[in-house]
Chain A
Amino acid sequence: MNMSWIENRFEENVIITSVDLALNWCRKSSIWPMTFGLACCAIEMMSTAMSRFDLDRFGAGVFRATPRQADLMIVSGTVTKKMAPVLVTLYEQMPSPKWVLAMGNCAISGGPFVFEGQYNVIEGVDLLVPVDVYVPGCPPRPEALLEGFLKLEEKITGKRRFPGPESRW
């Protein structure tokens, strides 16, 4: 349930429900990520949750270990063929509404481990689960992950929390 699908479907004199707006605001203010660190990007994800780049400021500091209580799966690291069924099982155990953030080059498209004759790396986690936000980098800086987070919030509500760089010009 991202942006209201009834928006822009009728004429202008139909107002979308404010319950929807309120619920979306609540969902974006309290995204609980699941601890799914696979490889090097996991360390940068942990750095983002730590004191310097505090992710808890945005309400996302509660990392739940069980998928049943998490909203966001941050796939940080390379997905191999052995890990793929585990990832899909965890994704299906999460209750809706749920989101997936592909962090790092490996999760986006296999990263630096794609070469002629490769036999074990899945080239991108979006071959397994639907991905909402892609954060590139090897590993992406914590600021990049925070920006990906804000992008996810923008995707949920339609409005951006802080002004982005482009709106200054």
Chain B
Amino acid sequence: MEQIGNMIGWETVKMVVGLVGVLVFVVLNALILTWAERKVAGHMQRRIGPKEVGPYGLIQPIADALKLLGKEILTPREVDKPLYYLAPMIIFVPVLVSFVVIPFDASLQVMDINVGILVILAFSSLSVFSILMAGWGSNNKYALIGAIRSIAQNIAYEIPLLLALLPIIMMTNSFSLKSIVEAQHGLWFVVYQPFAFLIYFIAGVAETNRTPFDLPEAESELVAGYHTEYSGMRFALFFLAEYTNIFIVSAIAVTFFLGGYQGPFLPGIIWFLLKSYLLVFVIMWLRWTYPRVRFDQLLNISWKALIPLSFINLLITGGLLKL
């Protein structure tokens, strides 16, 4: 064991273990979130969600996943094969990379890169590519309209996302996620920057294509948006990516604004997961309460409301820091 460690290097071993842990967490998280979504939806709608499949329906997501695995692998005849096959694979890359830099606890971080948040933002822009590939490669009008809407929405909302995080970066003088969490030792940043938190949260919900911003998947208009032509395991990958994105958005909000893994009595990771899942619950709550925003109103909110507000916030923060 010592010899293997000396040959490869402990750093590599730590990274591999970390990556495996991240993969396990991603899968578990997706399972928990699909179950939670149906249960939360059920209870908000005055019914119980899945109940028969295992106690409290806990085995339901496993049944869903295995059923999707067992479906026929169907490729429609006219699709653009390279794009169609690659899209569900590529959508997972930004998700996994983002998990590498998120600090679950003071010592539970796969790798503490000193430009951590830049890595996350850069890779999440790449998810736009896979949506475009899915929409175009499906050779389907609805998929294409859904993909185009999704791209416009993603590009529009990345700017306020970044601008809302900049004040925090200015305050802590660092891009590394761990130092941002450590800097919240005294007081959480949400107290200093409530507007930035709200703007980031709204932009994050829009980035993950959730209601009220889920026009790309608008069921009553566009059948199912950009993943109309995907079935079986390929669809499961899109599904998984969406739920993991929700968790990442919440995790970054917690890291930047709500103190990360800090908290009394309980170990850091428990606090982190508690806070993240609380935000995930709020995101689900929004989905089952609000109708959809129309597309031009959606872009208007971003370009005419969120971006100017985040600029003003940035200027005020910069001014106050100088003084």
Contacts and interface: CB of A to CB of B under 8 A. Distances in A.
- Chains A and B in contact, CB within 8 Å: yes
B322 interface: no
Contacts of A25: 63
Contacts of A97: 70-72
Interface in A36-51: 50-51
Q: Is the interface of A mostly helix, strand, loop or mixed?
A: loop
A36 to B, nearest CB: 13
Interface string B215-235: 000010001100111111001
Given A56-B42, A56-B47, A59-B50, A66 B70 contact: no
A30 B231 contact: no
Interface string B46-62: 11111111000101101
A13 B75 CA distance: 40
A123 to B, nearest CB: 30
A65 B220 CA distance: 9
A91 to B, nearest CB: 13
Nearest to B235: A69
B108 interface: no
Taking residues whose C-beta sits less than 8 angstroms from the other chain, chain B's interface range is 20 to 34
Contacts of B47: 50-52, 54, 56
A26 B50 contact: no
A14 B279 CA distance: 52
A59 B58 CA distance: 11
A26 B70 contact: yes
A59 B74 contact: no
Contacts of B173: none
A46 B230 CA distance: 25
Interface of B: 38, 42, 45-53, 57, 59-60, 62-64, 66-67, 70-74, 219, 223-224, 227-232, 235
Interface of A: 22-23, 25-27, 29-30, 50-52, 54, 56-59, 61-62, 64-66, 68-69, 71, 95-97, 161
